[in-house]
């Protein structure tokens, strides 16, 4: 009788496990390993950033380590790119009545101005699983602390204007740098077949920066004021995870 009961219990257990595997209800445990990512964002400036620049973009990459508890730790690097410059006083001392810059030979030339910069920092965060079959997926919360720098890149294609030579343009470029903190919230997805791995969400970055030029030629003053540079972003990224199996063999997703 006891043997019969034991056999029935074992059969019921095997049957339940078989149903889980048959209908896909078994939840996979979260995996650990390196994650290599590329990302991009569309940024909308606020505070002091909005006084100087318009909408900009960021492109970059990151490397992080994910634990079986879904904690993430890593580093991130972004390039800042833009072409909407709002600085009305920029090179005003070099322009004629028509707003054109006069080259050394007396010809009016067009000098391009672009927003350029970068942000580099360390990241930490967590994936909050929403109870689906894959424990690696869920809401991603990330905090980044680091260093940011941006300036106005002045491009003289003909290189015929000594006033904006490599040395002189430093008196116009509005170089700024300092520390920043960034908060990101989004959704991260790792496919079971390893083909589709991405994240998408919103972020806000606040830079506590300062002007770094001793003298600005066009406005005839130093540039050393403290600033608050804020960026609101829509961010998306693509991941290449290198997870470890239980046997500790490394495989690429």
Mean pLDDT rounded to a whole number for the chain: 86
Residues 7 and 49 in one domain: no
The predicted model scores a pTM of 0.83
> Over 50: is that where the pLDDT of 6 sits?
no
Residues 104 and 2 in one domain: no
pLDDT tens by residue, 227-252? 999 999 999 999 999 987 754 444 44
Residues 155 and 187 in one domain: yes
Residues 87 and 24 in one domain: no
Is the pLDDT higher at 84 or at 159?
84
Residues 48 and 10 in one domain: no
CATH number of the domain residue 51 falls in: 2.40.160.20
pLDDT tens by residue, 9-25? 333 443 434 344 444 45
pLDDT tens by residue, 148-165? 999 999 998 777 778 888
pLDDT score for 201: 98
In percent, the amount of the chain with pLDDT more than 70 equals 84
> Over 50: is that where the pLDDT of 75 sits?
yes
Residues 85 and 208 in one domain: yes
Residues 56 and 94 in one domain: yes
Residues 1 and 41 in one domain: no
**Domain count of the fold of the chain:** 2
pLDDT tens by residue, 85-133? 999 899 988 888 777 887 777 777 778 899 999 999 999 999 999 876 7
Q: d(Cα 180, Cα 80) in Å, to the nearest integer? A: 14
pLDDT score for 27: 63
What's the average model confidence in pLDDT over 4-8?
Answer: 41
What's the average model confidence in pLDDT over 133-159?
Answer: 92
In percent, the amount of the chain with pLDDT more than 90 equals 64
What's the average model confidence in pLDDT over 182-205?
Answer: 93
> Over 70: is that where the pLDDT of 179 sits?
yes
């Amino acid at each position: 009788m006891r043997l019969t009961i034991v056999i029935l219990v074992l059969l019921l257990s095997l049957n339940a496990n078989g149903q889980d595997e048959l209908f896909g209800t078994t939840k996979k445990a979260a995996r650990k390993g390196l994650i290599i990512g590329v990302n991009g964002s569309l940024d909308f400036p606020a505070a002091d950033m909005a006084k100087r620049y318009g909408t900009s973009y960021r492109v970059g990459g990151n490397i992080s380590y994910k634990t079986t508890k879904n904690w993430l730790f890593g580093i991130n690097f972004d390039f800042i790119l833009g072409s909407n410059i709002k600085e009305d006083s920029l090179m005003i001392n070099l322009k004629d009545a028509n707003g054109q810059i006069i080259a050394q030979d007396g010809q009016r030339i067009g000098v391009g101005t672009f927003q350029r910069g970068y942000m580099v920092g360390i990241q930490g965060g967590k994936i909050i699983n929403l109870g689906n079959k894959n424990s690696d997926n869920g809401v991603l919360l990330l905090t980044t602390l680091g260093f940011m720098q941006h300036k106005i890149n002045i491009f003289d294609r003909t290189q015929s204007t000594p006033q904006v030579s490599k040395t002189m343009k430093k008196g116009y470029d509005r170089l700024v740098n300092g520390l920043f903190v960034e908060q990101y919230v989004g959704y991260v997805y790792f496919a079971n077949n390893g083909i589709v791995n991405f994240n998408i969400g919103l972020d806000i970055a606040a830079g506590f920066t300062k002007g770094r030029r001793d003298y600005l030629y066009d406005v005839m003053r130093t540039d050393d004021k403290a600033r608050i540079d804020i960026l609101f972003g829509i961010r998306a990224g693509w991941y290449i995870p290198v997870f470890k199996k239980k046997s500790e063999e490394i495989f690429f997703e």
